Amino acid sequence: MLFVNGNPYGSSDPHNIISIEMNANFFFDRAVRSLDRYQYDKALKYFRKAVEYEPDNPVNHCNMAGILSETGDYQASNEVLAHVLEQVDPSMTECYFYMANNYANMEQFEKAEEALVTYLEEDPSGQFLDEAEEMMELLQYELNRPAKLNRIKSREGVVEHEHARALLEEGKFAQAVKQLEEIVKEHPDFLAARNNLALAYYYMGRFDSAKRTIGEVLDQEPGNLHGLCNLAIFYQHEGDVEQRDRLMDMLRITVPFHLEHVFKLATTMGILGQHEVAYGHFRRLLKHEEFNSDPSLYHYTAVAACNIGLYEKAEQYWRHAAKLDPESVIPDFYLAQLQKRKETGTDQMKVSYHYHLPFEEQFRQWAQDGEQLTEEAKQNPLIRSSFFWALRHGDPQTKLQVIRTLELIADEEVQHALQSFLQEPGENAELKTAARLVLQHMESASSRIADRREERDAAPVKTREVLPDWLPSWKAVLERAEQAMDMRSDAFWKKEMENLWTGFLSRLYPDIPNIRNVEGWAAALEYWTAKKRGRNLTYEEVAVRYGISPSTVSRYARQINSVFGDEAQSDHNFRPFTENI
């Protein structure tokens, strides 16, 4: 006998009575069965009964709203969803996404956009984030304007993190650290941000902070591959061979599943000199569609092949990179180097993984650290040949960068290359002016060396005239500084000052500031000339001689220092401290 709602049905035998408990679950199950059979009317009826039994359960309400939407009653569906948000559970933010769908189906696009924006700005989980972004594109097309979206709550910290990553890539490490520290403070479990914070510390030379931050990553997730790779690179920088090799042995046999991890491991192995392992990982990436159209990946694979002596394979990969990136001179440069190696019979050819010409990384590190190119870099034939290659084939911005960098080498070959560049009829006039400034600086430096060979008590000689294409204000600064120093220094000091001023102008060109305050610039020039020669001089002392305030001297001195960095204070060269693929 069935016993339904207290009413007997069928046999009166008490042993055959089955008690059925009428509750929300009972009607929910009936509703799901009806849905499986596409019996929407019955499903709606059962979901209504489930709501009657459990009016405070938002899931039942949402199920009922879903059925109404399936049957085309979008308005009724939205009324149910609004009831959930207002009376049952305001935290059910996914209701806004359902409402946006209903409004879109009713072609009420303004209301759909409003509901969708609310979902994106209020929903913490991002369950329907991909679908919401697709709908946002549809609404933008329908409304002919982008939505006014202030934030995506489920991506809190993600946008900021991407911005911080961009700052890292641009070498703006202090700004990146500030932003990443804020992200990590607000989102302690955001391990990607913590990993990048460690890298930012590392690039700034704050090695203790870098290792501590990586330790925090690995405390939360001991197998975090990015953290382990970064730690191995830190050990290499410190010269801790034992710890590096222990970690490297583990990474060498690691086979990541996620492609992003494969790329991280491949680049790390390249930095650590494990080129054969790197080669295997790069080749694995090339088999995947999302990577095999990236010319830089073919370059990385070619580099790894080249560094283990597989020159024919390297040539194949660089040729493919050239097809994918026909505007780039990089693959052609390395192909030319391979041909040169073949012709000269050179045994080995070691190449950096950076997807640019070798000089660009040297220049980036020099500019980043305020250091000069090392003697080793100046004499490196691969780097030198890339300078002259880019001077012939690069875009205008690259050529300008090369011209500035060639000043750091300043030998006869550079002089010949720049003089030949000036003879090219089709070259940009501004680039030629920059080349003339560098040649002038080289001439000034050559004169300084000659002066050093003269006896210190030799009669003062007249300073070389500035080239006539200098602006009058540039010349006025040098003349004013020489006038102020005339009674207190010899010709050697004047040459040093001229060399510093010419170098300052050539490195800024064509973005030289408007020289209005001749006294201020001259005072700053004298200040840094004295510092460069090891003489203690204060802003106050210089300010008195030029009749200006110490703060004015300080302001212009900082501008000169921003170009030269520590180089303005000494003649020492420093080696760049790291490589980053």
Cα dihedral 126→128→131→133 (10° resolution): -20
- Calculate ∠ Cα 420-422-424, nearest 5°: 75
Mean pLDDT in residue range 367-373: 50
CB atoms within 10 A of CB 464: 13
The whole-model pTM stands at 0.47
Query: Using CA atoms, how far apart are residues 109 and 115, in angstroms rounded to an integer?
Result: 10
- Asked if 193 and 184 count as a contact pair (C-beta separation under 8 A), the reply is yes
Q: Which fold has domain 258-355?
A: 1.25.40
In the block, which residue shows the tokens 């030629």?
432
Q: What is 411-470 written as a DSSP string?
A: SHHHHHHHHHHHT-TTS-HHHHHHHHHHHHHHHHHHHHHHHHHS-TTSPP-PPPPPPTTS
Domain coordinates in residue numbering, the chain:
24-153, 156-254, 258-355
Query: Using CA atoms, how far apart are residues 437 and 194, in angstroms rounded to an integer?
Result: 44
Q: Percentage of residues in the chain with pLDDT exceeding 70? A: 74
pLDDT for residue 157: 65
**Which one is predicted more confidently, 451 or 155?**
155
pLDDT for residue 232: 92
Query: Using CA atoms, how far apart are residues 360 and 405, in angstroms rounded to an integer?
Result: 9
- Asked if 36 and 10 count as a contact pair (C-beta separation under 8 A), the reply is no
Tell me the per-residue pLDDT of 501-535, one tens digit each, with 9 for 90 and over: 877 877 776 667 778 888 888 888 888 877 766 56
How high is the mean pLDDT of the chain? 76
**Which one is predicted more confidently, 130 or 381?**
130
Q: Is residue 368 predicted with pLDDT exceeding 90? A: no
Q: Is residue 456 predicted with pLDDT exceeding 50? A: no
pLDDT for residue 493: 63
Equal fold, 24-153 vs 258-355: yes
**Using CA of residue 487, residue 492, residue 496, residue 501, what is the dihedral sign?**
positive
- With cut-offs at 50, 70 and 90, classify the pLDDT of residue 305: very high
In the block, which residue shows the tokens 């305030």?
549
Tell me the per-residue pLDDT of 216-235, one tens digit each, with 9 for 90 and over: 999 988 888 889 998 998 88
Tell me the per-residue pLDDT of 86-121, one tens digit each, with 9 for 90 and over: 888 888 888 999 999 999 999 999 999 898 888 888
- With cut-offs at 50, 70 and 90, classify the pLDDT of residue 242: very high
Q: Is residue 569 predicted with pLDDT exceeding 70? A: no
pLDDT for residue 573: 26
- Nearest of 486, 485, 464 to residue 475 by alpha carbon: 464
Q: Is residue 453 predicted with pLDDT exceeding 60? A: no
- Nearest of 23, 22, 42 to residue 32 by alpha carbon: 42
pLDDT for residue 553: 82
| 182: Cα separation from own chain's centroid | 18
Tell me the per-residue pLDDT of 348-364, one tens digit each, with 9 for 90 and over: 777 877 776 666 555 55
pLDDT for residue 468: 36
Mean pLDDT in residue range 365-388: 57
For domain 156-254, give its CATH number from 3.40.50.2300, 3.30.460.10, 3.10.28.10, 1.25.40.10: 1.25.40.10
b vs e for 131-164, b when ≥16 Cβ sit within 10 Å of the residue's Cβ? Answer: ebeebbeebeeeeeeeeeeeebebebbbebbeeb
**Which one is predicted more confidently, 560 or 22?**
560
- Asked if 524 and 563 count as a contact pair (C-beta separation under 8 A), the reply is no
Cα dihedral 294→295→300→302 (10° resolution): 130
Q: Is residue 345 predicted with pLDDT exceeding 60? A: yes
- Asked if 493 and 554 count as a contact pair (C-beta separation under 8 A), the reply is no
DSSP assignment, residue 7?
A: E
What the block records as the tokens of 315 is 């040539």
pLDDT for residue 479: 82
pLDDT for residue 464: 35
In the block, which residue shows the tokens 């049952």?
88
- Asked if 419 and 439 count as a contact pair (C-beta separation under 8 A), the reply is yes
Query: Using CA atoms, how far apart are residues 92 and 99, in angstroms rounded to an integer?
Result: 12
Give CATH superfamily name and number for 24-153: Tetratricopeptide repeat domain (1.25.40.10)
Tell me the per-residue pLDDT of 380-417, one tens digit each, with 9 for 90 and over: 555 666 676 677 767 787 788 788 777 777 777 778 77
- Nearest of 16, 14, 13, 65 to residue 44 by alpha carbon: 65
- With cut-offs at 50, 70 and 90, classify the pLDDT of residue 19: very low
